[in-house]
Amino acid sequence: MNEFDDIIGYDATKEELVRIADTLKNAERYRRFGVTSPRGLILYGRPGTGKTLMANCLIKASGRPAFTCRRTESDNPFIDKMKGVFEEAEQNAPSIVLLDDMDKFANSDFQHRDAAEFVAVQSCIDNMRGTEVFVLATANENIKNLPGSLLRPGHFDRQICVETPKGEDAVRIVAGYLANKPFAEDLDPELIASMLAGHSCATLETVVNEAGIIAAYSKSDRITTEHMIEASMRAVFHVPAECLYETDVVDLSSRSTKSIVVWH
């Protein structure tokens, strides 16, 4: 089984990750050409697009031990923890440091580009120069708010934007989430992918799971298109309960009633 098989779709991104993993796993082959692996990679994009999954697949494929840093402490203890992670990675090189949700290490707006946490990340990466420590990071949304000095080549040589799934990728992802569930023969993953265009992988997974809950509660043998539509209305479009169930009384002044009108 390929380490990247857990990633459905995203073929171009997977190819890039496979190539990077090869430079990490077979470093000697590249040294014969007088080159080294990239020093760092940042995967960025909307939440729920599978960045951490991709990072973990890369780690597995590289064959290197990984040391993960996530923000769970306040300022100074967190910086000390981060320095400790890099030191442990250096002692166990060749290795990988995973900076998960790096944009959350500090307030990443234009007023906080010199935040102590980001300065510490840069310092730690600089201290790894000449070692076989690869720095892998994930970040949400817009990395332009992160310090340019942190993102420059030499710190993160590769940057990959992980977008929400589109077209055939979205269809394959919906089909993948349905694969181990009983569903009606006429349930078309392409229709569901079209209905949820622009939404993240996590959203697609949630809708499929919600549809299964609805099907089981209604004592159906299979997940149907109707179950998927109801799940989408509930989980994605937040249609109120009085729209989804039969009710005798509707308050015409309520906010939910306005949603009924919009939905219709």
| 177-236 residue pLDDT tens | 999 999 999 999 999 999 999 999 999 999 999 999 999 999 999 999 999 999 999 888
The pTM score is 0.86
The answer as to whether 5 is a domain residue is: no
Give the least confident one: 18-27, 45-54, 61-70, 101-110: 101-110
- For 204, phi and psi rounded to 5 degrees? -60, -45
Instruction: State how far the alpha carbon of 141 is from the alpha carbons of 15, 208, 229, in Å.
Output: 22, 25, 28
Residue with tokens 């076989």: 132
CA dihedral 123, 156, 108, 137 (to 10 degrees): -100
The enclosing domain of 139 has a CATH number of: 3.40.50.300
DSSP category for residue 8: -
Element (H, E) at 123: helix 116-127
Residues 209, 151 within the same domain? no
* 172 and 143 within one domain: no
Boundaries of domain holding 73: 11-161
* Angle formed by the axes of helices 75-91 and 116-127, nearest 10°: 10
153 and 234 belong to one structural domain: no
Query: Stretch 69-82: mean pLDDT, rounded?
Result: 85
| Contact assessment for residue 145 and residue 139, using Cβ atoms and an 8 Å cutoff | no
Using CB atoms within 10 Å of the CB of residue 252, give its burial: 0 to 12 exposed, 13 to 18 middle, 19+ buried. exposed
Q: Are residues 96 and 223 in the same domain?
A: no
**What are residue 22's phi and psi, to 5 degrees?**
-65, -40
Q: Report d(CA 71, CA 251) in Å as an integer.
A: 45
